């Protein structure tokens, strides 16, 4: 077996004691009575609503039309009647228009045998057009449309399937790797055809069981790379450093794709199916029966929690996404989107209590930062409104991985402060381009 690789600096070991982890079985979730379909489920501008209140929409019909780069078409995840078009607040900040569809009528796809299309004979332009028309986005937030990632990339030094899950509780990608290996493999083959990679890599962490790798093991084109189970091993910079080496990471044109994105691509091309579903981990110490669910987009997260047996006790925090990089949610009606990887209900023990104390200058935050930053210094500068100095000390290199906030014994709100400043910078940059 090849050796276990990792990135050079910082990080935290939060999963595993060397034991391999069995992926969860994937369960089909119940259909929602009402789907709240956000028109902003991608990195760029919200899609433009193309349906009216009272209109009947079929499963897979376009309800929002993407508006240029960064934006993607949005499709009806269930058949039904448009009951409302309203503005909802997003957990990550900001707001989005949403189309509320009350489930009604018959399904065009559900329960029927799907016709399979032979994609090998499709040309590049045809595949790209189909990817765009089916609304496929990178399932990692912020959801860059796959078309945008592929359109100008006719070759690459590496195509990396990133099945590493370094945040606690998350099992979506490892479960897909084992239980949907054929779809993942098809998705990867389509991407390889489009990008002609010099290297084709399947990256997993050291806790991945051998059985999950069996479908890939006999393929001479594919390198299987095992990585240390150290957070944030799954983030692009650390992944590239571990797989390609520190010197190559900055200049690499690698395309890094999650198994869930590969499955969405397979469905779009092989099954001619727009993005209507998402695979979601439901877990955390306050959930009775954690599971990985296949869910219709627009399903309220409260439905998923109920389907997993509800709460063991009052949760201290509910998070959309992982415990490090996810966003707290305060509304169980918040819907699943194309980039929702997990819904976690965390207990008081898991969030470490609400008590915050002043910084004790212990230096732990700097020791875990994979970007070689000094989080305590950056926080102090931002607190004193010395933003320019914080930027001079490297704030813009912060990836918001959350490792510093996790390790801090005083629970100083480091990452929240960095996120506010970095997002202000992004909005200003976007305004300047309008």
Look-up of token digits 């869910």: 295
- The smaller minimum CB distance to ligand SF4, of residues 167 and 179, is found at 167
Sole binder of ligand SF4 in the list 360, 388, 416, 420 (CB under 6 A)? 360
Q: For residue 404, state whether it binds ligand SF4 (rule: CB under 6 A).
A: yes
Question: Is residue 361 at the binding interface for ligand SF4, with CB under 6 A as the rule?
Answer: yes
> Quick one: which of 171, 226, 296, 364 contacts ligand SF4 (CB under 6 A)?
364
Would you count residue 365 as binding ligand SF4 (CB under 6 A)? yes
In angstroms, the CA 13 to CA 3 distance is 18
Q: Rounded distance, CA 263 to CA 307, Å?
A: 23
Which of the residues 370 through 399 are near ligand SF4 (CB under 6 A)? Answer: 371, 373, 375-376, 398-399
Nearest distance, CB of residue 397 and ligand SF4, angstroms: 7
In the complex, the smallest distance separating the C-beta of residue 326 from ligand SF4, rounded to whole angstroms, is 14
Among 109, 400, 423, 425, binds ligand SF4 (CB under 6 A): 400
- Closest to ligand SF4 by CB, 340 vs 399, is 399
**Could you say whether residue 363 binds ligand SF4 (CB under 6 A)?**
yes
Q: How far apart are CA 408 and CA 93, in angstroms?
A: 24
Q: Give the C-alpha separation, 148 to 345, whole Å.
A: 34
Residue 415 touching ligand SF4 (CB under 6 A): yes
Rounded to the nearest whole angstrom, what is the least distance from the CB of residue 379 to ligand SF4 in the complex?
Answer: 6
Our finding on whether 410 is near ligand SF4 (CB under 6 A) is yes
Member of 137, 275, 408, 417 binding ligand SF4 (CB under 6 A): 408
362 binds ligand SF4 (CB under 6 A): yes
In the bound complex, what is the minimum distance in angstroms from residue 395's beta carbon to ligand SF4? Answer: 8
Our CB check for ligand SF4 shows the closer of 219 and 389 to be 389
CB atoms within 10 A of CB 376: 21
At closest approach, how far in Å is the CB of 408 from ligand SF4? 3
Question: Does residue 402 interact with ligand SF4 by CB under 6 A?
Answer: yes
Find residue 36's DSSP bridge partners.
Answer: 100
359 binds ligand SF4 (CB under 6 A): yes
| Least CB distance to ligand SF4 at residue 387 (A) | 15
Tokens representing 186 are 């098809």
Least separation in angstroms between CB 141 and ligand SF4: 15
Q: How far is the CB of 402 from ligand SF4 (least distance, A)?
A: 5
Is 320:307 a contact under the CB 8 Å cutoff? no
403 belongs to the binding site for ligand SF4 (CB under 6 A): yes
Tell me the C-alpha distance between 401 and 238, whole Å. 11
Comparison of 87 and 354: residue with beta carbon closer to ligand SF4: 354
**Residue 166 CB, nearest approach to ligand SF4 (Å):** 13
Mark 131-160 with x for binding to ligand SF4 (rule: CB under 6 A) and - for no binding: ------------------------------
Closest to ligand SF4 by CB, 201 or 407: 407
SS3 assignment for 400-415: CCCHHHHHCCCCCCHH
Residue closer to ligand SF4 by CB (options 20, 383) is: 383
How many residues sit in the footprint of ligand SF4 (CB under 6 A)?
28
**Residues binding ligand SF4 (CB under 6 A):** 359-365, 368-369, 371, 373, 375-376, 398-404, 407-410, 412, 414-415, 418
């Amino acid at each position: 077996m090849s050796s276990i690789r990792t990135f050079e600096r910082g990080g935290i070991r939060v999963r595993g004691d060397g034991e391999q982890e069995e992926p969860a079985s994937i369960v089909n979730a119940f259909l929602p009575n009402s789907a709240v379909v956000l028109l902003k489920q991608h990195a760029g501008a919200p899609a433009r609503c193309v349906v009216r209140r009272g209109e009947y929409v079929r499963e897979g019909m376009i309800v929002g039309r993407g508006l240029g780069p960064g934006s993607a078409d949005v499709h009806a995840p269930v058949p039904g009647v448009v009951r409302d078009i309203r503005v909802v607040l997003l957990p990550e900040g900001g707001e989005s228009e949403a189309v509320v569809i009350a489930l009604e009528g018959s399904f065009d796809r559900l329960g029927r045998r799907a016709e399979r299309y032979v994609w090998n004979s499709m040309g590049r332009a045809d595949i790209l057009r189909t990817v765009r028309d089916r609304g496929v986005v990178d399932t990692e937030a912020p959801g860059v449309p796959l078309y945008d990632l592929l359109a100008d990339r006719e070759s690459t030094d590496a195509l990396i399937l990133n099945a590493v899950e370094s945040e606690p509780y998350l099992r979506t990608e490892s479960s897909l790797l084992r239980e949907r290996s054929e779809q993942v493999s098809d998705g990867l083959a389509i991407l390889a055809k489009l990008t002609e990679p010099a290297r084709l890599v399947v990256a997993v962490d050291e806790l991945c069981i051998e059985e999950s790798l069996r479908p890939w093991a006999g393929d001479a084109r594919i390198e299987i790379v095992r990585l240390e189970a150290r957070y944030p091993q799954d983030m692009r910079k650390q992944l590239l450093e571990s797989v390609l080496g520190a010197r190559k990471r900055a200049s690499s044109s690698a395309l890094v794709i999650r198994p869930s994105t590969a499955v969405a691509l397979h469905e779009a091309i092989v099954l001619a199916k727009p993005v209507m579903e998402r695979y979601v981990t439901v877990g955390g110490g306050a959930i009775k029966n954690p599971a990985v669910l296949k869910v219709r987009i627009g399903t309220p997260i409260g439905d998923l929690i109920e389907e997993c047996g509800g709460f063991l006790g009052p949760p201290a925090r509910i998070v959309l996404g992982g415990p490090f990089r996810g966003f707290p949610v305060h509304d169980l009606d918040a819907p699943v989107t194309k980039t929702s990887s997990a819904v976690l209900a965390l207990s008081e023990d898991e969030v470490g209590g609400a008590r915050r104390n002043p910084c004790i200058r212990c230096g732990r935050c700097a020791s875990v930062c994979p970007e070689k930053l000094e989080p305590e210094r950056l926080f102090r500068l931002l607190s004193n409104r010395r933003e320019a100095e914080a930027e001079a000390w490297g704030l813009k290199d912060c990836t918001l991985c959350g490792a510093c906030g996790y390790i801090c014994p005083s629970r100083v709100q480091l990452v929240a402060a960095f996120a506010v400043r970095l997002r202000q910078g992004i909005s200003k940059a976007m305004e300047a381009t309008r």
